[in-house]
């Protein structure tokens, strides 16, 4: 039911964290996986793990906020694999700040990756999906697109746009056999979180990690593999009747 045999999947930001977990699970389920990341060495490390398990994968550099970079990467995907069936728009960056202390440069930087990146990659994938008779686009939004979170102004703006794009793509292409959904995670424990704590709370990493974990009523952060399992459902034929939806993966945050 959850197999992806014969499918080609593109996963952006797949050099580490959630993207790497999705790429690994998709490969395990039979997909050919294009691992895109602005950090090519990180993408290659993911691909080495996939190929070590006998899976077909390719590492490609991609700055999702740059049109020419996106075009070049997707052209290489089609040259390498011939088809494109699944796109997971996972690449994204974070920002901490309120309306009052968010600079124009910060705002533009977050929007360039989190919003423009989803737009450019989805647009680049569209012709191949239409030519192939359909496909699946899965976007990574956030619970910040559904509720207000303190000091996440620019980030919340960008993820709210991802949610709106998801619904727009879904309604525009539902008759062309292209499904589009998004996942809205709460905090997920990735290397990014550890780096963020080390940078902003030196000497207090454990204290702040526990505080961030406690934000979720279940008392912990989510794991990348848990996001990957939901992504697999939404990108497989098991969810063939699902489109235009936002799926919280929040440890109970939204039930409060």
Which residues does 71 contact at the CB level (< 8 Å), separation at least 6? 124
Which range is least confidently modeled, 4-13, 28-37, 52-61, 239-248? Answer: 52-61
Q: Does residue 155 have an active-site annotation?
A: yes
Instruction: Give me the catalytic one of 155, 173, 201, 215.
Output: 155
Closest CA to 165 of 223, 114, 227: 114
Question: How far, in Å, CA of 211 to CA of 70, rounded?
Answer: 37
C-alpha triplet 178, 224, 126: angle, nearest 5° = 20
pLDDT digits (tens, 9 = 90+) for 153-180: 999 999 999 999 999 999 999 999 999 9
Closest CA to 91 of 159, 151, 179: 159
pLDDT digits (tens, 9 = 90+) for 67-90: 999 999 999 999 999 999 999 999
Bridge partners of 71, per DSSP, are: none
**Beta sheet of 178-185, edge-to-edge order:** 57-61, 32-37, 8-12, 86-89, 135-140, 178-185, 246-249
Mean per-residue pLDDT of the chain: 97
pTM > 0.75: yes or no = yes
């Amino acid at each position: 039911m959850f197999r992806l045999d014969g499918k080609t999947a593109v996963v952006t930001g797949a050099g580490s964290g959630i993207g790497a977990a999705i790429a690994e699970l998709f490969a395990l389920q039979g997909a050919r996986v294009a691992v895109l990341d602005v950090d090519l060495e990180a993408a290659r490390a993911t691909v080495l793990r996939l190929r070590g398990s006998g899976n077909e994968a390719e590492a490609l550099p991609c700055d999702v906020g740059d049109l020419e970079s996106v075009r070049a990467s997707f052209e290489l995907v089609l040259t390498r694999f011939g088809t494109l069936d699944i796109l997971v728009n996972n690449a994204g960056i974070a920002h901490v700040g309120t309306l009052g202390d968010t600079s124009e440069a910060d705002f533009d930087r977050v929007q360039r990756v989190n919003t423009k990146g989803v737009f450019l990659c989805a647009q680049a994938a569209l012709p191949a999906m239409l030519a192939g008779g359909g496909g699946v686009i899965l976007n990574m939004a956030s619970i910040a697109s559904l509720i207000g979170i303190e000091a996440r102004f620019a980030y919340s703006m960008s993820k709210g746009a991802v949610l709106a794009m998801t619904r727009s793509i879904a309604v525009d292409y539902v008759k062309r056999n292209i499904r589009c959904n998004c996942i809205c995670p709460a905090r997920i424990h990735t290397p990014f979180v550890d780096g963020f704590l080390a940078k902003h709370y030196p000497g207090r990493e454990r204290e702040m990690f526990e505080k961030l974990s406690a934000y979720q009523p279940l008392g912990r952060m989510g794991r990348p593999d848990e996001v990957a399992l939901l992504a697999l459902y939404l990108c497989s034929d098991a969810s063939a009747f699902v489109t235009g939806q936002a799926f919280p993966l929040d440890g109970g945050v939204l039930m409060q």
